[in-house]
Amino acid sequence: MNIRTFDLERIQSLYENTVPINLTESGFHPYTLEELLSVDQIKMLSSTVLGYGQTNGSIPLRQIVSSLYPNCNEDNVLVTNGSAEANFIACHTILKPGDEMVMMVPNYMQIWGIVEEMGCTPKKFHLREENNWKPDLEELESKMNSKTKMIALCNPNNPTGYVLTENEMKSVVEIAKKYDAWIYCDEVYKGADLDGIEKHSFYGMYDKVMVNGGLSKAYALPGLRLGWLVGPEELIADTWAYHDYTSLTAGILSHKIGEIVLQPEKRKEVLNRNISMLNENLKITQQWADEHSNSLTFVPPKAGGMVFIKYNYPINSTELSDWLRLEKGVFILAGDVYGMDNHFRIGIGAEKKELLKGYSILSKALNERFDI
């Protein structure tokens, strides 16, 4: 096999639907159609002809997506099957074998595996936990050279919940300009800000920027598998060529629901629901971690649907995750999938009752195992 197994997704796929308590979800508790849509909207969907639709995305959907970004129109948008396909297409459009890519870590590591498989060289620059997850921009610049064709970011970040400041974004842009490199930013958590103030996209800050987005995380609609790429018109035309060879098109019902959800008032309603959930669950999580303050610490996230917790128990993170899942029926995501042992990720976009139940079991299990 020429591509490495994507451990994060494979582990979640194997176990997240089979455990009594799943604390690994990276987004928000998903909507049902009845919760999301009106009776008339559901009736409209029921009469939809189940054809292919326009393969790069319906014009109304691409128009409403483009309205979320500055100086953008439907020709700057490609609709994809989730942001995962968007990442795959973006890498194959921007990079060629022999190129180098510098990637923010920790991160959702799909791009790392894609770039390796393509015959490119991935390099890392770090968000520093000891500095509240601020980016090490000196390290970023030290990894750049004439072969660097892309800087890959995740903002808001998975798994830390860190959000780059405007000055940090400008610094990344200046570094990219210096080396004539593309900026590719995973912005799938854009809009899920704890303070309720949506932060700027990288799109529009530099002429060599492409970003992705989608309905899976901030919008709590992962089952729709609806994502998008936004970038310069000529580059987006090239991404459509790759899209013709991958999934060809997203589902027609996903297109229709996306057109509804991204309307300004509906979008505000969805994001506010999820931000409220995030803030309430973060308080619960902080209270639980405070009860174990001798062993557990985390930097509170600024956005997104998760916390990345550091622990000092004498056990590897995968072993800890496996033991809790097999013996206690609670699933947490091991820091090993991010290359960071002694950490684990908990999704705080879950239903409050599930979080409370999970934390109760975790507390008893950790006290029992480590004699606290």
Provide the pLDDT for residue 230.
98
Residues in the chain: 372
Residue 268: partners with Cβ closer than 8 Å, 6 or more residues away: none
SS3 (DSSP) at 78: strand
Angle at 304 between CA 300 and CA 306, to 5 degrees: 60
pLDDT at 18: 85
What pLDDT, on a 0 to 100 scale, did the predictor assign at position 4?
A: 81
**CA 266 – CA 58 distance, rounded (Å):** 19
User: Would you give the DSSP letter of residue 327?
Assistant: I
The tens-digit pLDDT sequence of the chain (372 residues) is 677 887 777 877 777 788 899 999 888 999 999 999 999 999 999 999 999 999 999 999 999 999 999 999 999 999 999 999 999 999 999 999 999 999 999 999 999 999 999 999 999 999 999 999 999 999 999 999 999 999 999 999 999 999 999 999 999 999 999 999 999 999 999 999 999 999 999 999 999 999 999 999 999 999 999 999 999 999 999 999 999 999 999 999 999 999 999 999 999 999 999 999 999 999 999 999 999 999 999 999 999 999 999 999 999 999 999 999 999 999 999 999 999 999 999 999 999 999 999 999 999 999 998 865
Which segments within 65-160 are labelled E, that is strand? Answer: 77-80, 100-105, 121-128, 134-135, 148-154
The predicted structure's pLDDT at residue 324: 96
Q: Distance between CA atoms of 56 and 240, rounded to whole angstroms?
A: 6
Q: Among 96, 125, 98, 101, which Cα is nearest to 111's?
A: 101
Whether the Cβ atoms of residue 147 and residue 99 lie closer than 8 Å to each other:
yes
Task: Give the DSSP per-residue string, 250-296.
Answer: --HHHHHHHHHHTSHHHHHHHHHHHHHHHHHHHHHHHHHHHHTTTTE
Neighbours of 215 (CB within 10 A): 26
pTM tops 0.85: yes
Please tell me the distance from the alpha carbon of residue 161 to that of residue 174, in angstroms, as a whole number. Answer: 24
Domains annotated on the chain, with CATH = 7-32+267-366 (3.90.1150.10), 51-263 (3.40.640.10)
Long-range pairs for 188-191: beta carbons < 8 A, 24 or more residues apart:
188/83, 188/212, 188/213, 188/214, 188/216, 188/217, 188/218, 188/227, 189/156, 189/157, 189/158, 189/217, 189/218, 189/303, 189/304, 189/305, 190/155, 190/156, 190/218, 191/218, 191/219, 191/267, 191/271
* Helix intervals (H) in 96-178: 110-117, 137-143, 166-178
**The pLDDT of residue 372:** 57
Determine the Cα–Cα distance for residues 368 and 372; give it in Å rounded to an integer: 7
Number of H helices, E strands in the chain: 13, 14
Say which DSSP state 199 is in.
P
Could you tell me which residues are beta bridge partners of residue 308?
345
Residues 6+ apart with CB under 8 A from 94: 149, 150, 182, 184, 210, 235
Cα–Cα distance, 54 to 253 (Å, whole number):
12
